[in-house]
Amino acid sequence: MTPKHATASFAAGLALCSVLAATAGAAPDHPARYRVTFTATWSAETHPTDFPPDPHFSWLIGGTHDDQASFWAVGDTASLGMERMAEWGSISPLDEEVAAAAADGHAGEVIASDTFTVSPGVMSDEFTATPVFPLATVVTMIAPSPDWFTGIAGLDLRDGDGWIEEITVEMWPFDAGTDSGAGYTSGNQNTVPPEPISQIDGAPFAASIPLGTLTFTLLTSATDVPPAGALALAVRPNPFNPRTTISLAADGTGPASVRIHDARGRAVRDLWRGRLDGGRSDLTWDGRDDRGRRLPSGTYLVSARVGAERATTRILLAR
């Protein structure tokens, strides 16, 4: 049986996932709540070769799924969502790819942190794994970089007929194969045609030193874990100018937030934070950022959270 507490050296990571899946045995019959924590250790001390200014990682983005869904793998060509994540640090459209897999019955929920982190630093998120969707895929952009990222693909959280209590995985750099830049701050050089995703084994990264760790910690695991309430998000009018109404409706209760992101996934406006005890709340957005500046025309992403539930939708500002 897989140890209840484990630490794994994640050289490409996919071998670990295969081992865990192979040793899972009987599956758990109840959902489990997890916290995923990315601890970034990448720094000028650990990776001194051409270390860039403003080192950071983008938001964690990914999802829970079954073994029929795959959002990235070494040797595969990056999807548009993986390309935008690796080049821009954007959560979208990778979140939409997870949602599409959910609509097809092969994914459970989107995993997306509320913040990104400078490096060294820490960021985390919580999610629910289920017997139907026991695998977790999580990625984050290495920034600045042409198209480099770190993450895991299809980590199996099952331990026999239960759930792994905690597992820590070392994080290594990968190349999405969509940009040909050779250094952290290289200009945009699209790779045509795209090359397969590959692990970066040499410069500018130190081959034997990881960029950090990803830890999955079991929070609750019981047959009486309550189902999450439905969360609906609507925007009207859309497109809009100069303002629009964002409607948030939820069956569940808990801490809630609504945030606006630009097309690159960067948060530009924290529209609302508070507590929603079921029901509906209408918010107005005037197309301005947190400093009151008018934002340019373009596509933006509205992300909402109530308790463990999330919803996202696109919105078009037309000046």
pLDDT at residue 265, rounded to an integer: 66
CA distance 303 to 61: 13
pLDDT at residue 222, rounded to an integer: 59
CA distance 42 to 75: 25
Q: Are strands 166-171 and 5-8 parallel, antiparallel or unpaired?
A: parallel
pLDDT at residue 146, rounded to an integer: 97
Contact at 8 Å (CB) between 38 and 60?
yes
CATH class for the region spanning 5-221:
mainly beta
CA distance 160 to 296: 52
**CATH of segment(s) 231-317:** 2.60.40.4070
Which residues of the chain have a pLDDT value below 70? 1-26, 222-229, 263-265
CA distance 283 to 190: 39
pLDDT at residue 69, rounded to an integer: 96
Strand order in the sheet with 32-40: 5-8, 166-171, 212-221, 32-40, 121-129
Q: Which residues of 221-252 are buried (b: 16+ CB within 10 A; e: fewer)?
A: beeeeeebbebebebeebebeeebebebbbeb
What's the token pair of residue 152? 């895991």
pLDDT at residue 123, rounded to an integer: 94
- Do the domains spanning 5-221 and 231-317 agree at the CATH topology level? yes
pLDDT at residue 170, rounded to an integer: 96
Q: Domains of the chain: which residue ranges? A: 5-221, 231-317
pLDDT at residue 256, rounded to an integer: 84
What's the token pair of residue 109? 């929920």
Q: How many helices (H) and strands (E) does the chain have?
A: 3, 20
Q: Which secondary-structure segment (H or E) carries 101?
A: helix 94-103
Our measurement of the distance from residue 251's CA atom to the centroid of its chain's CA atoms, rounded to an integer in Å, reads: 25
**Identity of residue 145:** S
pLDDT at residue 78, rounded to an integer: 98
Please tell me the pTM assigned to this model: 0.69
